[in-house]
Structure 1
């Protein structure tokens, strides 16, 4: 006979795992009156995790091939009782196909349970339950089916209640916080809603915020409809010292995980709790889609307005002021324009996959900017277009805050967008709307030419361009050519004809303040090779690097070559432009004469 105390003990031990199934637990089924004279003889270790979804009778040895999982199998073992190997295979196949258990009737074909059956049940962790010979199959099947049917009716009724409550909430234009509170009332557990950047969007209990880190040990518990539930460990608090276990359910919007519902629990969730969570997640997804639609319209309006301001395309400054006031902006106070540009974006424009990647990068960049801005200012104005983001940063007491924000922002980009090349340019301070376009142009110059002047620096202010600010704005190649040292012209021609990498060596050598050892390390060549090249460079150019004025002219000339290169849209156009400048008749020389001069 099955001991009710034993079943209760097993039920308590299984409380953490029973909630992971969908159906009715085997421990609950075994409490029914029809199992009063039955006995669990094998597979006890698996009873705790078994969920029963149905019951059927075994007519043939291949019954395992016809079940869906979760069924209790009623049998007298007639098809297999004479062959121990067939009995073992039957138990193995039933376990593999996730049967809930084997109910064996004794007294007609077998007088007692075969040892091989008990051994196989324990080995394959399939519960084997002995029922008395005088018990009819219908006396087992009807109560079990009735219990399962009533359970399904109860779950459907609970689903209706949850659905109605959340629909009413949405009709009242409820917020994410309202959804969290409603879910907590249904499941009586603390609830959090947070986005993919771990920013808490709603929370019923402040003690569980902020979220510091999610461990990468996501364990899938169950799929309930279209809702997937995971068990996850999460570090909470500013310093991440509080570790809690949560049940997470992703909210999907636009085919991506956009937010998560977190339920604080020490174990799993029941079926009724899962229904409530699944209903809440559906409403959260709808709310996120609604917010995204509204935000898209607002962002489009803001982008158009900022675009008009930074390009001076407006007809009336008073109209612009009126529109900015409607948005709560005050641009008639000091601001600096910051341009954040995704470099190498052209490679993403070749196909649909690349375009989707570009959109994803831009979305993630915007989220990072907004997240970091919370620690600096609440008055940040952001505009995004294609591969570029424009930020209007309010300048208050410390102008250095702008650069600190930009530096930390780029660190976040580097850490969270691995392998993505992003540059940041900062213009000078503008005092009102009319001067905003100047700050924007300066920020653009900082992005475009900062990489030339500052080499590998990714955050460049307009002030850092120094004298090169003048060179950047010279559109006439003849004007720029005036600043190229004649010796550099000769070296370029000489290098092009022999491919000796002398131009590159010269640039690296000057960048390292004439340190030949560091130049060799940078270029991965021998120290003596560097010394030989420098000697050859001096001979071709006919200059003395000890002369500070000459050295400055050469450094400026090198920068001009890079500027000419970058003023055109593509590398090929840039090379062609350099060729045009450096092979002009005015500067062209016979290389044989250069060789003669050297010798």
Structure 2
């Protein structure tokens, strides 16, 4: 017999117990509303201080002898038992008490706590054994059903069945609809039985989502259990129209989840292996190691990669000294089993692209038609990336110029990385830095003599750099603000929430240190020197 037939729990209720052979002649005297209370055990009340020892869902059987002489204990018993989740109490009167006290009956009716009066000939030990035997039989039935679920599904698993077939088998065993959900709570597949149908039909992903959309699954009773293997969570088993308190269902789903996890993990391992090879290929592209179009086409075909140009290379970097935090953040972005609901939209985007973890950043090759559309997308998600990374985190996103063919991907990657490095110096908070907007840096990059560049900066800004270092000041930052706001002190004050007199004092200090802030050729050289300074810092040639 399938314990799930009838759609009820394996455990019996007080009402079921009263139907047992041996309970003939009993009379329910109070607490009719509680006849549906679950009974999993029975116990005799042989001592006055029974309360610390009674367990939830226990049916207590007694003559009330231990407390018959205490009115206070008699008045406290029913509320205390009810608060402990006891199923009910069977009382055999006349021997030690003349009748069940009216106060108990009143309390029991109010609490919905069943009180059953036993006849004079009732054998208390026999009644306890009857309940315990019923519970034992139920537990044995539960174990047999669990083993049946495991055996049936294991046989299918060993024969090479996929998740859809396993879902259908689980639905048949449980006689309930089954939905497998991914970590974003989107459907993987669903085994559903229509009204009047005897069998289950399997629906996959979009089709399942379409059918389930109108059912409002989460508005009714349901059971949901994670599908996990180690630290990897692959999704959930969802059973609509089911009670979470159904222990038989829960045990069966736990068994099934282990088997589903093994299928998902096998597929995950295969995908991960393929991904590793694909990642190597993408890294080779970014490093310019693919030498010919023939080699490119062969590897694109082997790894199912598409590269329709133009492309843009995007580098995403988390700036933190916390290596664990950084690793967790990057893993969340590229691993579908770890991605959070907040980042599901971003993950769905980049998994359609060619993306890879490379040199402490996530690199995405975007095939948008314009740099503006790439910038617009990342402007929408950078706040979510920042929230995902954690409080006080700083995210840098660098966007390359347009990449017109595969041989330019190496240059595009270098541009994206450089845009991130420059942005980290220019911006204190999370930022998007576009290489095309830093044209001056592209010119500076062509000068191979870094000693010449360092000398140019030192001659014009050396005194300021030394002053900041020796006094733990930030005059170079003030110079950055002045350049950004075209040397308008009022705009700097308003945009950076600084008092106007503070900005004026710092500008005067810069002039005292030899910085020419008056319009003319000298000011042009100061601006150029600052840009070179930023460039040299980004390539770690200057402190």
SS of the equivalent of 1:37 reads coil
| 1:185 to 1:411, Cα distance in 2 relative to 1, 3 A | farther
Partner of 1:594: none
Residue 52 of structure 1, CA deviation: 1.0
Contact kept, 8 Å, 1:249 with 1:281, in 2: the verdict is: yes
Residue number among 13, 22, 40 corresponding to 1:25 in the alignment: 13
Residue 468 of structure 1, CA deviation: 1.3
Residue 113 of structure 1, CA deviation: 0.4
Partner of 2:72: 85
- Separation of aligned partners in 1, 2:505 and 2:359: 48
Residue number among 421, 427, 436 corresponding to 2:394 in the alignment: 421
- Separation of aligned partners in 2, 1:282 and 1:147: 30
Partner of 1:299: 275
Residue 441 of structure 1, CA deviation: 1.4
Residue number among 43, 51, 55 corresponding to 2:42 in the alignment: 55
Residue number among 315, 324, 332 corresponding to 1:364 in the alignment: 332
- Separation of aligned partners in 2, 1:297 and 1:158: 37
Gapped runs of 5+ residues in structure 1?
Answer: 1-14, 213-235, 349-353, 569-573, 579-599
> What is the number of equivalent residue pairs in this alignment?
519
Contact kept, 8 Å, 1:200 with 1:211, in 2: the verdict is: yes
| 1:411 to 1:492, Cα distance in 2 relative to 1, 3 A | closer
| 1:455 to 1:65, Cα distance in 2 relative to 1, 3 A | closer
- Separation of aligned partners in 2, 1:499 and 1:360: 34
Partner of 1:556: 528
Gapped runs of 5+ residues in structure 2?
Answer: 1-5, 193-202
Partner of 2:200: none
Aligned pairs (5 A) from 1:231-380: 244-245=219-220, 246-255=222-231, 257-265=233-241, 268=244, 270-313=246-289, 318-319=294-295, 321-331=297-307, 333-344=309-320, 346-348=321-323, 354=324, 357-366=325-334, 367=336, 371-372=344-345, 379-380=352-353
Root-mean-square deviation (Å): 3.8
| 1:291 to 1:412, Cα distance in 2 relative to 1, 3 A | farther
Contact kept, 8 Å, 1:312 with 1:437, in 2: the verdict is: yes
Residue number among 367, 379, 403 corresponding to 1:407 in the alignment: 379
TM-score by length of 1: 0.74
Residue 539 of structure 1, CA deviation: 4.9
- Separation of aligned partners in 1, 2:451 and 2:159: 69
Contact kept, 8 Å, 1:84 with 1:116, in 2: the verdict is: no
Residue 105 of structure 1, CA deviation: 0.7
SS of the equivalent of 2:98 reads coil
Residue 524 of structure 1, CA deviation: 4.7
Aligned pairs (5 A) from 1:72-471: 72-91=59-78, 94-119=81-106, 121=108, 126-137=113-124, 140-204=127-191, 244-245=219-220, 246-255=222-231, 257-265=233-241, 268=244, 270-313=246-289, 318-319=294-295, 321-331=297-307, 333-344=309-320, 346-348=321-323, 354=324, 357-366=325-334, 367=336, 371-372=344-345, 379-385=352-358, 387-395=360-368, 397-398=369-370, 400-419=372-391, 420-453=393-426, 456=429, 458-471=431-444
| 1:433 to 1:275, Cα distance in 2 relative to 1, 3 A | same
Q: Deviations over 1:225-270 (max 9, x none)?
A: xxxxxxxxxxx859x9986233221222324644222222275564
Of stretches 483-492 and 459-468 in structure 1, the one that deviates more from structure 2 is: 483-492
Contact kept, 8 Å, 2:178 with 2:190, in 1: the verdict is: yes
- Separation of aligned partners in 1, 2:476 and 2:510: 8
Partner of 1:9: none
| 1:391 to 1:526, Cα distance in 2 relative to 1, 3 A | closer
SS of the equivalent of 1:202 reads strand
Residue 103 of structure 1, CA deviation: 1.0
| 1:529 to 1:268, Cα distance in 2 relative to 1, 3 A | closer
Residue number among 445, 453, 456 corresponding to 1:480 in the alignment: 453
Contact kept, 8 Å, 2:274 with 2:303, in 1: the verdict is: no
Structure with the bigger RCO (C-alpha within 8 Å, sep 6+) is: 2
Contact kept, 8 Å, 2:153 with 2:259, in 1: the verdict is: yes
Q: Deviations over 1:183-206 (max 9, x none)?
A: 333344443322333333223467
Residue 466 of structure 1, CA deviation: 1.4
Q: Deviations over 1:9-47 (max 9, x none)?
A: xxxxxx99x85xx73222322333544432333444444
